[in-house]
């Protein structure tokens, strides 16, 4: 490629990359700016202040919300990993009546937009008395059709001989699944873990429906309520709250970007 074209390409890509990264840097620096400096374009604040963070922390239980998000996302991810593996294993390697129907049902679930079931699920939660409980946040997400299909696809490829010799050694199915299949399935399990965790971490609409008590809110939910409810006061405080939500994700992303990309793009395609 001619030098000029190549240079133009690199320049264009760099400009594009800046467009994607700069807003986050601006968000970081704005969160550290005092209110009178807000709105300047300077990336480095004239005077760095942690006031926005102090205000944010004192006005709403962000620490608690962070813990809630970790609890909810963590539990869901663990449950999805275990339950989806069990189901995927059964669907891939065991023959039982109803297997095909289950497969068809799983595919059908993917076709239904979440909005269709949103209201009935909400009424169900109300009737179970689960409003403002962790159960409402966790239980409807315990199983994930995309995860099952992905794991099933992977489990289909494991040689039958491994299962046969394990059975001959007297291993039960659960033992086989967790001692033989799981170690082999690290890549797809990692992928499932990431998109499940991220999906749960970033979910806002459902928590907004079923949780009203600030003590039970998840972090993005509290952030939204806070930003909208005027508790923030200035944009600076909203942005400080956003940073709390974003920083762990960005840090994880910087180290694991390959897995993030593989996971979320792959899941999106299948979904």
Partner 1 sequence: MRAEDRSGWLLSAPYAAFLLVFAAYPVCFALALVFMHWDLVRAPSFAGFDNVRLLATDTRFWRAVLNTFVFLGIHLPLQIATALTLALALNRPLVFRAFWRAAFFLPVVISGAVVAILWNALYATDVGLINGLLARAGVAPVPWLTDPSLAMPAIAVMVTWKNVGFYVVIYLAGLQYIPRSCQEAIAVEGASAWQRLRHLTLPLLLPQTILVVTLSTINGFQLFIEPYVMTGGGPLRRTFSIVLYMYTNAFSYQKMGYAATIGVALALIIGLVVAIQRRVIGKAEVQ
The structure tokens 């068809």 sit at 104
Q: Which is nearer to partner 1, 117 or 215 (CB)?
A: 117
Within 8 A by CB and 6+ apart from 22, the residues are none
**How far is Cα 173 from Cα 196, in angstroms, rounded to an integer?**
25
Q: In the structure encoding, which two tokens stand for residue 57, read together?
A: 């922390």
> Which of these ranges, 48-56, 57-65, 100-108, 185-193, lies near partner 1 under the rule CB under 8 A?
100-108
Of residues 43-72, which lie at the interface with partner 1 (CB under 8 A)?
none
CA dist 68 and 98 (Å) reads 38
Angle at 130 between CA 116 and CA 85, to 5 degrees: 65
Site string for partner 1, 243-262 (x = CB under 8 A): --xx--xx--x---xx-xx-
User: Least distance in Å: CB of 250 to partner 1?
Assistant: 7
Q: Is residue 38 involved in binding partner 1 (CB under 8 A)?
A: yes
Options 209, 214, 231, 248; binder of partner 1; rule CB under 8 A = 209
CA distance linking residue 185 with residue 182, whole number of Å:
5
The answer to whether the CB of 212 falls within 8 A of the CB of 131 is: yes
- Which residue stretch of 53-61, 95-103, 158-166, 185-193 sits at the interface with partner 1 (rule: CB under 8 A)? 95-103
Instruction: Give the binding range for partner 1 (CB under 8 A) out of 49-57, 58-66, 184-192, 216-224.
Output: 216-224
Of 181-200, which residues contact partner 1 (CB under 8 A)?
198
Task: Identify which range of 14-22, 53-61, 70-78, 157-165 contacts partner 1 by CB under 8 A.
Answer: 14-22
Residue that has been written with the tokens 């970033």 in this structure: 202
- Burial class of 58 by CB neighbour count within 10 A (0 to 12, 13 to 18, 19+): exposed
Could you say whether residue 206 binds partner 1 (CB under 8 A)?
no
Judged by beta carbon, residue 188 or residue 201, the one nearer partner 1 is: 201
Which residue do the tokens 């499932």 mark?
A: 192
Going by C-alpha positions, the residue among 109, 202, 95 that lies closest to residue 147 is: 109
Least spacing, CB of residue 59 vs partner 1, in Å: 15
147, 198 Cβ separation under 8 angstroms: no
- Interface size with partner 1, residues (CB under 8 A): 88
Residue from the set 95, 169, 213, 230 that interacts with partner 1 by CB under 8 A: 95
Judged by CB under 8 A, the residue of 39, 46, 229, 233 near partner 1 is 39
The answer to whether 35 touches 234, Cβ cutoff 8 Å, is yes
Q: Which residue from 75, 208, 214, 248 is in contact with partner 1, where contact means CB under 8 A?
A: 208
Q: Which of 173, 180, 193, 231 binds partner 1 (CB under 8 A)?
A: 173
Find, among 85, 188, 89, the residue nearest to 144 by Cα. Answer: 85
Residues from 117 through 156 that contact partner 1 (CB under 8 A): 117-124, 126, 139-140, 142-143, 148
Shortest distance in whole angstroms from residue 265 CB to partner 1: 4
Cα–Cα distance, 61 to 78 (Å, whole number):
26
Q: How far is the CB of 221 from partner 1 (least distance, A)?
A: 8
């Amino acid at each position: 490629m001619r030098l000029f074209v190549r240079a133009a390409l690199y320049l264009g890509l760099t400009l594009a990359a800046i467009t994607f990264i700069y807003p986050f840097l601006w968000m970081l620096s704005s969160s550290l700016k005092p209110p009178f400096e807000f709105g300047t374009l300077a990336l480095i604040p004239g005077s760095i202040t942690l006031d926005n963070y102090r205000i944010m922390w004192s006005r709403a239980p962000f620490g608690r919300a962070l813990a809630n998000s970790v609890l909810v996302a963590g539990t869901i991810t663990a449950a999805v990993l275990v339950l989806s593996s069990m189901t995927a294993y059964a669907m891939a390697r065991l023959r039982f009546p109803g297997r095909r129907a289950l497969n068809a049902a799983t595919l059908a679930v993917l076709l239904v937009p979440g909005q269709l079931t949103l209201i009935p699920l909400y009424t169900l939660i109300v009737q179970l008395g689960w409003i403002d409980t962790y159960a409402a946040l966790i239980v409807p997400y315990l199983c994930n059709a995309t995860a099952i299909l992905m794991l099933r696809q992977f489990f289909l490829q494991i040689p039958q001989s491994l299962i046969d010799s394990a059975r001959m050694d007297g291993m039960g199915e659960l033992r086989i699944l967790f001692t033989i299949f799981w170690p082999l399935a690290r890549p797809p399990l990692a992928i499932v873990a990431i998109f499940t965790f991220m999906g749960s971490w970033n979910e806002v609409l459902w928590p907004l429906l079923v949780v009203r008590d600030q003590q039970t809110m998840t972090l993005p939910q509290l952030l939204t309520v806070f930003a909208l409810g005027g508790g923030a006061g200035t944009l600076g405080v909203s942005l400080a709250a956003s940073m709390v939500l974003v920083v762990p994700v960005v840090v994880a992303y910087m180290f694991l970007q390959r897995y993030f990309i593989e996971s979320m793009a792959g899941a999106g395609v299948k979904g």
